[in-house]
Amino acid sequence: MARRRAAANEDGPGGCRVLRPLLADDGAVARAPPPDPGLGAARAGRPGAEDRVTTDGGTEEAAGEVAEAPPRFPLLPVALLALGIAGLLWSGIQEARTSRPAEKGQRLAPAFDLEKFGGGSIRSSELRGKVVMLDFWATWCGPCIAEMPILLKLASEYEPRGVVFLAASRDDPGVAKVQVGMFIDQRAPNLARHAAFADDETADAYAVSAIPTMALIDRKGQLHATYLGAASERTWRARIEEVLARD
């Protein structure tokens, strides 16, 4: 495993600061190919570490999985299955090593207006009073696929307590509806009511540079924290409870 050499500060969503680990081994960094102007390519990858952003400039880190940029062709069902298995085998879903409540004085989360998979749209302004799990993912992302059953289970469990789960796809716009529809039909029927599509503007507003990236938004519409990388059910459960306990 690569040793951490240094850390660099950069601006995160809503004026937050995020401390990104720099790894001595370039092989530990998921790199993106040159941009393809013909396809709405997702952002470049980041080091294989899960970053927790808080509005006081603090950061918590835990081992996590992030995905490389997508292939430039529609994935076949067999490829989807292979990616899911690879996501589980490639060191799996990791536990968080540290956890502490986010500091008070949160900033409002960036506004969004997402196209829903089943038609229509959903706006952030409609979700005030709810805790929102905004998950940026894609059908080509192995770690995203591996943790999706966990997120769907928690979404069902916490819905009566006012938690809304949105799975915002970052698949290439030209094939996103087909890919997400195929994924739902073959892998996750319960995802249909949670699936949506995130454009570049929304992803940029939340500083999405690799996936999976999860933004947790509290009942007041404030950005509680942003997490990079997949995590276990226990870790996600603790994070959700942390947000619910704030109000």
Q: Which residues contact 6 (CB under 8 A, 6 or more apart)?
A: 22
Q: In angstroms, rounded to a whole number, what is the distance separating the alpha carbons of residues 161 and 221? A: 16
Average pLDDT score over residue span 108-123 = 96
Confidence of residue 67 (pLDDT cuts 50, 70, 90): low
72-76, 123-127, 161-165: least confidently modelled range: 72-76
pLDDT, averaged across the chain: 73
* Cis status, amide bond into 149, omega within 30 of 0: no
The alpha carbon of residue 238 and the mean position of all alpha carbons in its chain are separated, in whole angstroms, by 17
Predicted pLDDT of residue 143? 97
Confidence of residue 21 (pLDDT cuts 50, 70, 90): very low
Average pLDDT score over residue span 204-221 = 96
> Is residue 31 domain-resident?
no
> Is residue 7 domain-resident?
no
> Is residue 143 domain-resident?
yes
Q: Which amino acid is at 36?
A: D
Q: Which residues contact 96 (CB under 8 A, 6 or more apart)?
A: 50, 52, 60, 62, 231, 232, 235, 238
What element of type H or E holds 242? helix 233-244
DSSP label at residue 236: H
Average pLDDT score over residue span 181-210 = 97
Average pLDDT score over residue span 85-106 = 41
Average pLDDT score over residue span 100-112 = 67
Q: Is the model's pLDDT at 126 over the cut of 70?
A: yes
Predicted pLDDT of residue 29? 26
**CA distances (Å), 180 to each of 24, 168, 215, in order?**
36, 10, 20
Predicted pLDDT of residue 72? 45
SS3 for 172-212 is: CCCCHHHHHHHHHHHCCHHHCCCEEECCHHHHHHCCCCCCC
Average pLDDT score over residue span 208-236 = 96
Average pLDDT score over residue span 177-206 = 97
Average pLDDT score over residue span 63-78 = 52
CATH number of the domain within which 232 lies: 3.40.30.10
Domain span at residue 123?
Answer: 66-244
DSSP label at residue 124: G
> Is residue 223 domain-resident?
yes
Percent of all residues in the chain with a pLDDT value above 70, rounded to a whole number: 57
Q: Is the model's pLDDT at 9 over the cut of 90?
A: no
Confidence of residue 212 (pLDDT cuts 50, 70, 90): very high
Q: Is the model's pLDDT at 236 over the cut of 80?
A: yes
**CA distances (Å), 98 to each of 69, 154, 180, 238, in order?**
28, 21, 33, 11
Of 98 and 236, the structure prediction assigns the larger pLDDT to 236
Confidence of residue 246 (pLDDT cuts 50, 70, 90): confident
Predicted pLDDT of residue 241? 97
Q: How many folded domains does the chain comprise?
A: 1
> Is residue 39 domain-resident?
no
DSSP label at residue 108: B
Q: Which amino acid is at 116?
A: K
Q: In angstroms, rounded to a whole number, what is the distance separating the alpha carbons of residues 41 and 201? A: 13
Picking from 197, 190, 192, the residue whose alpha carbon sits closest to that of residue 152 is 190
